[in-house]
Amino acid sequence: MDHHTPVSDIAFTDTVKQLQARNGSRDAYAKMENGMGWHDTITPQLAEFISRQNSFYLATVNAEGRPYIQHRGGPRGFLKPLDDRTLGMADFRGNRQFISQGNLQENRKAFIFLMDYANRRRIKIWGEAWMIEGDDVLLRTVMPEGYAASPERVLLFKVSAWDPNCPQHIPRKIDADEVDAMLAERDQEIARLNAEIERLRTRTT
């Protein structure tokens, strides 16, 4: 993007800016644009956030402008930064509808929405995406180790802009694996306390 054009202009069109002005938020966003603004590269902070996620939503649009959102899931870190502008993941065998892939063949513009319910954080990423087939080296690079799924191709996503959202209105939810870890830690503490109680009881009898 032109250095004189704020990265956020990918979303803040003239119409959006007019709405911001009408509703009283344009001055604040103008200050943001003149300050740090949005990023157009994958920072260490973004890479660390992505490494903890086990799902995201991918939005694509076909040639007629009809949008489609698809959920993508896998083990934590299955979406991988490959360089400071590119994300990649193994495209696993699914329901065989091929809507996202078809849309990307018609229009590469895409959007990733990452939601961390446990910490009430969300990140929006604008960019372009495409599929690569027949590149076994790249497929091995992005395939999560030990994951029981059938990879068929690689999805690459070139980042144009990203923005973290505020936690307002995000309900707090915790994934099952995180709950299991908390319960296991609690059970260990209970076992430790029970052992200590038994040791003290033995000493006093």
Tokens of 170: 């995000």
Model confidence pLDDT, tens digit, residues 79-134: 999 999 999 999 987 778 899 999 999 999 999 999 988 888 899 999 999 999 99
What's the rounded mean pLDDT across residues 50-76?
Answer: 95
| CATH classification code of 39-171 | 2.30.110.10
Distance CA 178, CA 29 (A): 36
pLDDT category at 142 given cuts 50, 70, 90 is: very high
Q: Does the structure show a pLDDT above 90 at 69?
A: yes
User: How far apart are the C-alpha atoms of 164 and 141, rounded to whole Å?
Assistant: 27
pLDDT of residue 160: 97
Q: What is the pLDDT of residues 4-40, one digit of tens each?
A: 789 999 999 999 999 999 999 999 999 999 888 899 9
Q: State how far the Cα of 41 lies from the Cα of 83, in Å rounded to an integer.
A: 9
Tokens 């699914």 belong to which residue?
94
Question: How far is residue 99's CA from residue 60's CA, in Å, rounded to a whole number?
Answer: 9
Residue whose structure tokens are 């004189």: 4
Are the CB atoms for 178 and 105 separated by under 8 Å?
A: no
Measured distance CA(10)–CA(3) in Å, rounded: 13
Domain coordinates in residue numbering, the chain: 1-37, 39-171, 174-205
157, burial (CB in 10 Å: exposed 0-12, middle 13-18, buried 19+): buried
Task: Decide: 184 and 176 in contact? Cβ < 8 Å.
Answer: no
3-state secondary structure 99-143: HHHHHHHHCCEEEEEEEECCCCEEEEEEEEEEEECCCHHHHHHHC
What's 146-158 look like in SS3? CCCCCEEEEEEEE
Instruction: Decide if pLDDT at 52 tops 90.
Output: yes
Give the count of beta carbons closer than 10 Å to the beta carbon of residue 121: 16
Tens-place pLDDT, residues 182-203? 778 888 888 888 888 888 888 7
